[in-house]
Structure 1
Amino acid sequence: MKAIPVVLKILQAIKNVDARSHLLYLSLMCCILLLQNFTISSILAPALNQRDNSQAVFDDFSIPLLLPIFLSPLFETLIFQAAAIWVLQLFEIKEMKIILFSGLIFGLVHFMGSHYLIVVFSAIFAGVLFSGMYLYRLKRNGFFWAVADVTFVHAINNTVIFIDTFQ
């Protein structure tokens, strides 16, 4: 369970970032996810004999690319960050627990079978990052920017996964 303190340190670092430059902030979030994707696909997946394709939906080109790359991030942000965090806040749960629980829910809905367990861990990490980012931006800039930023970073992440899947 050493991963949780690492996640907490990353979230604290994100919270402490002086985001004067919106582009710098979004770039930092994308870099964290890219580093995580690289670690999962290059190190953990082969070590655990798991597939590193974290989006099985990309295996079928009959689905328009607009759906997994752009629309899914928007709807997942609205459901797993905005709605989930709003509901959890109603129960007056501490912010860090809300972020972790929201990330856990996000990761578990990406479960696609035991051969893709590495995907769940990757999605939990991404979900925690998205939830922390959402709460930070919500407090700082409001609902629109929170949803827009998380959706943008999520779409970049899905695009990189898509490119990695078909290289």
Structure 2
Amino acid sequence: MPPRPPADPAPFAPTGPCPFRERELRGEVHDLNTWVLGGAAGHAGLFATIDEVAAWAASLEAAAAGRADAPLPGAVVRAFWDAGNALPGDTWRLGWDSPSRPGYSSAGSLLSPDSVGHLGFTGTSVWIDRERDLVVTLLTNRVALGAGSQEAIKRFRPAFHDAVVGLATAAR
């Protein structure tokens, strides 16, 4: 059975209208296939607050570093992030992207080459710069802005990531 919308959707930014559900979406998964599957499906990414995404990314970093309190075995996370698991000429690893050429990468131009990240359809992104021990998280609702928002988010993401990396680097 598909999940119900939250009892109080007011704290959530609107994701946009859903013709199938015949309502504005707030606080529920945007992806229709995921909604039909009960609200959780691996292809639809994360559905969380910025604090939860940052904590999740930090737990993956802890696992990669081999910390005993990490939620996953370090070998698993390191395999996901290993550049050797990318296809030749591709930036994708096992479910994770890595920065591509500057000017073309959603990661921007300042993240370390060994960084890993993932993008979401609604305009979200998380990048983990392992060299700098830095997590950059962006949560947006770009689909609420309509069809033209895809080009806008393609320009905004790299600028945002570069601004955060620049500020974090200057602060250290």
- Asked if TM exceeds 0.5, the reply is no
Which structure has more helix as a fraction of its residues? 1
Return the structure number with greater relative CO, CA threshold 8 A, min gap 6. Answer: 1
Structure with greater Cα Rg: 2
Q: TM-score, normalised by structure 1?
A: 0.28
